[in-house]
Structure 1
Amino acid sequence: MVSLPHKASDGLEFLIDGGSVGASMRAHDWSGTALGHPRNWPQSLKTAVGLMLANGHAMCLVWGPESTVLYSDTYIHVLVPGIRRR
């Protein structure tokens, strides 16, 4: 995995929050995905992902023709009921 830097001026501020899912998003090599590098995502996607990662509600976002699914830490409990929270 390639780690994404997250300095305040690099355009990736929207990925700073998000618990373990946010950390996974920052560490993921997006270059081989339909979304491409987060720096090149449309502003609407950056805003939606930033909001999703920054709040404590279970949220899921399905984006683009490939229906790429992005989700928050708390959404994991919707996907896998009964998983224990730490």
Structure 2
Amino acid sequence: MMGLTLDTALLGAAVAIVLFAVALLYRVARGPTMEDRVIAINGVGTSTVVVLALLAAALDRPAFLDIAIVYALLNFLASVAISKFIVERGGVL
């Protein structure tokens, strides 16, 4: 009988998070406000970082962690830049 290995569990968790990120794409497309879209995009970016970290552990590829760190930084900077643009445009009450 084949048991559940740690690698299989990590890959399964990565697939589940990808499915949740796909569900977040609905909020990106439908809004209703720009702030909702920014939060959803940030959620998709965070999910991507977590999936990369899970894949790094499951596939024994430490380089994926470097990519995840860079992507997390870019995700943060993009969120700050978009939020600053929204505030300057007067979109936040």
Q: Shared fold (TM-score greater than 0.5)? A: no
Normalized per residue, the structure richer in helix is 2
Whichever of the two has the greater Rg, that structure is 2
Normalized per residue, the structure richer in strand is 1
What TM-score comes out, normalization by structure 2 length?
0.28
What TM-score comes out, normalization by structure 1 length?
0.30
Q: Which has the higher relative contact order, 1 or 2, with Cα contacts under 8 A spaced 6 or more apart?
A: 2
